[in-house]
Structures are given as C-alpha cells and as structure tokens.
Structure 1
Amino acid sequence: MAATEAAAPLSGVGLAATPEAAPAGWTAITASVEGAAANLGKGFGHKGGAFLCVSGGAEAAPGPVVTDVLVLSERSPQPPGYTRAPEFPELRPGLSRKKRLYVKLSPPAAAATAVFALQLSSRSKALPHHMKIGEVGNFAIWCKKGPVVRAPAEGQPLSAGLKQLSLSDQSARGGVRRGPEHEALADSSIYGLSAMDGVPFALHPRFQSKLRSSSTGSLADLSVKSLAYIEREYDYGFVVERTAAARLPPGVC
C-alpha cells in the first residue's frame, strides 16, 4: 500500500525484507504514488527486497516521535543525534549497502516539528508540500513534516463555589434591574452576572478598628427621614420674593 498521512507524528521508520516481515504496529509502503511496486532491495543491499515501513500515528503509544529522516551513502559518517533505521529481519553487519537510512527521534515535548508521512515517487516527479530526503534506485523518497500539537496542561481544579455557580440562578444577578432584552438572555449567557456577583462583603481590618473606636451613641441617634417629610420641612413658597417683585416699577421688570 502507498503511505497515507497519519493524524499523529510517526514514531519509527525502518526497512522490511518483505511486507509481511514488518512487525505488529508497523506498516509497509508497498507502492509509489504512481502505483509502481516500491521494492528498494538493491539500493539497500538486500538481494530479495527492502520495503520502507513506518510506525506511529494516532493509535501509537506515547513516546519519541520521528523529527527527521536521512538517506546517505554507506561512506558517509553517521550524523550526530541520528540512529540507524531498524531492519526486519536484521541483516548481517558486514553486508555491503549502497544506501543507509538514518532516523532522528525526539520527545514530543522537545519537538517543534515532526514527520507525519513518507511517500515514494519516480525520480522525475515532485510532490507538493513534501520534502525530498534522497533517492534510492529509481525512486525518490519524500517526507511530510508538520507542527507537533501538544495537549494542554491540566489546569487547577475549580473551587466548590465556582462549581456550584449557575447562570440560571436568579440570586446570582445581584438585584440589578435590567431591561426585557437582558432578562431574556440572563438564563443562557453571562448578561445575568456582574463582576461583583458572588463576592462576599468584608471590611478591611484597618477600618474595623476605627469603626469600633467611633461613638456608637451618635450613630444610634440618627434618624432616617422620608422624602415626604423632607419636602414638608423644607417647603418654601417664595412669598417674599414675589411681594418684592410686585412693588418694583414696571420698567425695572
């Protein structure tokens, strides 16, 4: 089968002598994008065959991810930070190989980008949105990279008071008078809440001492006057002003 892009980064890249030799959890790439049989055996020194195989994806267990893949000649030194790709079954160490496959693995937390797919094509074909990593025989090997999406860190647990808060609770509206349009939205949105709803009132300790030292007797003597009482007490008919205005000559007015 041709490789398809995984929903999660690859966790391994290797070589299998046959598609059936790929271990459980690994998928062999048996065809190029053009549909040709993707046997890379001669290029990697295998007499019978060699098929690229990959592991990983959404169902893979948590672990390192593939961040880069290289195809180098057997005379090139092994790059720092890279490991030889596993082979199934493992070939004899002294066997000559024209090409060697190297893989770089990194923890997901330390990886900005990773390899999500490998593709094979003819050497003359270009694959959009893919990066060419080398050529083996009549094939070009391409990889597709993407950003590593990390799961958000778990936040602090909510307090019991916040868990019990309900937007539909009439008491949480704080007695604020609202129009009909706000009352219609209060049960299903945050319009029914103010910034001070649910915040208990408490006097700062600095002012509590002043309150205790003040005269409580004078506070007890205070009386509350109604609006009608105030209007009667301070009623003023402007009689003097009207009388004075009536005595003025007509030209002055």
Structure 2
Amino acid sequence: MSLPLTGLGWSSAAAAHGAPAGWTPITSTVEGASANFGKGFAQKSGYFLCSTSAINSENPTGDVLYDVIILSEKTPLPYGYTYAKEFLDPKTSLSKKKRLCVKLIPLTAAETAVFDILLSSKNKVIPNYMRIGEMSGFALWCKKEHILKPKPLPKPRKVSLEMKRLSLEPDGVVPPSEKPVVPPGPKRQPTLKRHESIYDTSNVYGISAMDGVPFTLHPKFESSISKGTNAYSLFKSLHIKSLADIEKEYNYGFVVERTAAARLPPSIS
C-alpha cells in the first residue's frame, strides 16, 4: 500500500553528500535518462530531486504533501506554500530562475495528497499524472490520490437487563451472568396480604396505572351511606333489559315506507 508524500527536497548528486536518511532521490526520468539538475551550469555534480513519506522529528504532526507548483523568480510565494527543502553541499547552489514550492497540510484535514513524483522529457505524456511544469529541461509530474481513512468504530453501549428483555429473544431467556441473585430465605406464601399489590413494583414495567390512587366514593353516595342507607339499595330501581325487551319496545314495522315504495308511478295518457 503506497503512502502519501510528506516532503520534497534537493540533494547533492555527489555520493558523499546524497539524500539524508528517509529521503529517496529521483535519479532518472521515465525514459531512463539521468535526472541530474544543474549539471552544465558551472557545476560539476549538479543535484537531484528527492522525496519522502516518512514522519520524523521534522514533521511530527504527520503533514502530507497536498500540492506542488513551480514559480518564477519574480512571483511571490503564495500563502501556505514553502520552498522545497535543500540538502546540498556548500559548493552546490540552486538556480533561482524557477523555484519548486510545496504545500503541506495535516493528514486529518486532507482529502487528497500527492503520492508520487516523476520526471520526463518536455514532450512526454504520462497517463494518470498531472503536469506541474518544467525546470532545467525536465517536465515534472505528480500523482494525486484520495486518502483512505479508517472509519471510526462505534463505542460499545451498555444495555441494561430490562432493555435486553425487550429484544427478540425467547421469553424467559436471560444470560446466566445477568440472572438476579435471590438471597436464601423462606419461600413467599402464595396468598397476598392487604397491603401487598398484585403488581411487581420493583421496576417501571410492573407498576399499574392504579397504583398510588386512593379509593374514595363519590359524594353523592357518601351522603346516603352516612344516613344508614344500604349502598346497594340505590341500584334496586335499575332494570336491565334483554335484547327481546328492546326489540319489543322499539318495534317499528315500516308500513308507511313499504306502502310508498309499492305505489306505481303515474302513467302518461
């Protein structure tokens, strides 16, 4: 799996003053020619472009290479850009006509980054690479890709015993580790006392809608009971009618409606 680049720089071509540890020099073009910059401009050795994907003390936050541009000597440096690093011996100097500039951003804020840098001749076209520009007779190309970031894992949630009872598991199936521990003691009698409820009020699911509601009589009936009248005598006058009584009382033959429906419409003479 390739990693995004974390820096670009210049290193001396001499073997004794090459790229530092963690940096890889680009010594040849895609055609196989030498990628030595500066050679022939009053310099014997020249210099190479080098890149790195390492995260070290110089880049502790893990910034990645977001963009690469080539500017002329009169173009001011854009905001957020810096010149490529230099790892050169004292006898080697860079050409100031064109400068290689880079932009680094934190990995957490980057959606894309530069993953590779290639050099070629001016007339060469490299598929899937973006042309940066030209320097010292070379064409510079970069390859940008999306950064694959790991998806955050959801935090484990604590599920109570009561919530697990609402799952699709068969009724009565409770994990052994979550079964309530019943202290030893005498068995509870099946009969209920006056102050006990038929509902289990140890949790919210066992509370009835009538728990805690006091039982009182309507004032209309309290007055009769206080006078000594039996409460059941108040309902002696009530008569419960059967279905036959109701049909007999509200019997309607629909005679008028049937007569009207049986009439013939007037004929036209």
What TM bracket, shorter-length normalisation? 0.5 to 0.7
CA deviation vs aligned residue, 1:137-186 (integer Å, no higher than 9, x gap): 22100000011222333431354889xx9xxxxxx8526xxxxxxxxxxx
SS at match of 2:65: strand
Change (3 A) 1:105 1:19: farther
Once the 2 structures are TM-superposed, how far is the Cα of residue 97 of structure 1 from its aligned partner? 2.0
- Tell me what 2:223 maps to: none
Could you tell me how far 1:211 is from its partner in structure 2? 5.3
Q: Indicate the residue corresponding to 2:131 in structure 1.
A: 132
SS at match of 1:119: strand
Counterparts of 2:40 and 2:160, CA distance in 1: 67
Structure index of larger Rg? 2
**2:2 maps to 1:7:** yes
Q: Give the CA deviation at 1:83.
A: 0.4
**Fraction of identical pairs, as percent:** 42
Q: Relative to 1, partners in 2 of residues 1:68 and 1:31: Cα closer, same or farther, differing over 3 Å?
A: same
**Which residue of the partner structure matches residue 208 of structure 1?**
208
Q: TM-score, with normalisation over the residues of structure 2?
A: 0.55
- Cα RMSD of the aligned pairs, angstroms, is 4.1
Matches of 1:137 and 1:151, distance apart in 2: 41
Instruction: Pick one of 19, 23, 26 that aligns with 1:22.
Output: 19
Q: Where is the helix percentage greater, Structure 1 or Structure 2?
A: 1
**Which AA in structure 1 matches 2:127?**
P
Question: After superposition, what is the alpha-carbon deviation per residue over 1:15-48, rounded to whole angstroms, capped at 9, x for unaligned?
Answer: 1112742110000000111111111125999653
User: Hey, what's the Cα distance between the residues in 1 that align with 2:124 and 2:95?
Assistant: 29
Counterpart of 1:72?
71
Distance in 2 separating the partners of 1:55 and 1:205:
63
List per-residue Cα deviations over 1:220-242 (Å, max 9, x = no partner): xxxxxxxxxxxxxxxxxxxxxxx
Distance change >3 Å, CA 57–CA 33, structure 1 → 2: farther
SS at match of 1:208: coil
Q: C-alpha deviations, 1:106-126, integer Å up to 9, x for none?
A: 001111211000001111011
SS of equivalent to 1:109: helix
Match of 1:112 in 2: 111
Within the alignment, does 1:148 sit opposite 2:136 as a pair? no
The 1:212/1:125 distance shift into structure 2, 3 A limit, reads: same
Q: Indicate if the aligned counterparts of 1:43 and 1:137 stay in contact, CA closer than 8 A.
A: no
Letter in 2 for 1:76: T
- Show the counterpart of 1:89: 88
Q: Which stretches in structure 2 are left out of the alignment for 5+ residues? A: 172-177, 179-201, 216-269
User: Take 2:39 and 2:160, find their aligned partners in 1: how far apart are those partners?
Assistant: 69
Between the aligned partners of 1:28 and 1:42, the Cα distance in structure 2 is 16
Could you tell me how far 1:50 is from its partner in structure 2? 1.5
Cα distance in 2 for residues equivalent to 1:55 and 1:207: 68
32, 35, 50: which one aligns with 2:32? 35
Deviations 1:72-112 (CA, angstroms, capped at 9, x unpaired) = 22222112110011111276999752221111000011112
The runs of 5 or more residues in structure 1 that have no matched partner are 1-5, 166-171, 176-197, 216-253
Give the match for residue 174 of structure 1: 170
Distance 2:42 2:154 in 1: 52
SS across alignment from 2:27? coil
What is the rounded CA distance, in whole Å, between the counterparts of 1:12 and 1:208 in structure 2? 70
Larger RCO: 1 or 2 (CA < 8 Å, sep 6+): 1
Corresponding residue SS for 2:24: strand
Q: Number of aligned pairs?
A: 181
Name the aligned partner's letter for residue 66 of structure 2.
T
CA contact (8 A) 1:108 1:150 kept: no
In structure 2, the CA distance between the partners of 1:57 and 1:86, relative to structure 1 (3 Å rule), is closer
- TM-score with structure 1 setting the length: 0.58
Contact 1:116–1:143 (8 Å) recurs in 2? yes
CA gap 1:94/1:129 in 2 versus in 1, 3 angstroms: closer
* Maintained 8 Å contact 2:9/2:51: yes
Given the alignment of the two structures, is residue 51 of structure 1 paired with residue 59 of structure 2, yes or no? Answer: no
1:155-194 pair list within 5 angstroms: 155-157=154-156, 159=158, 173-174=169-170
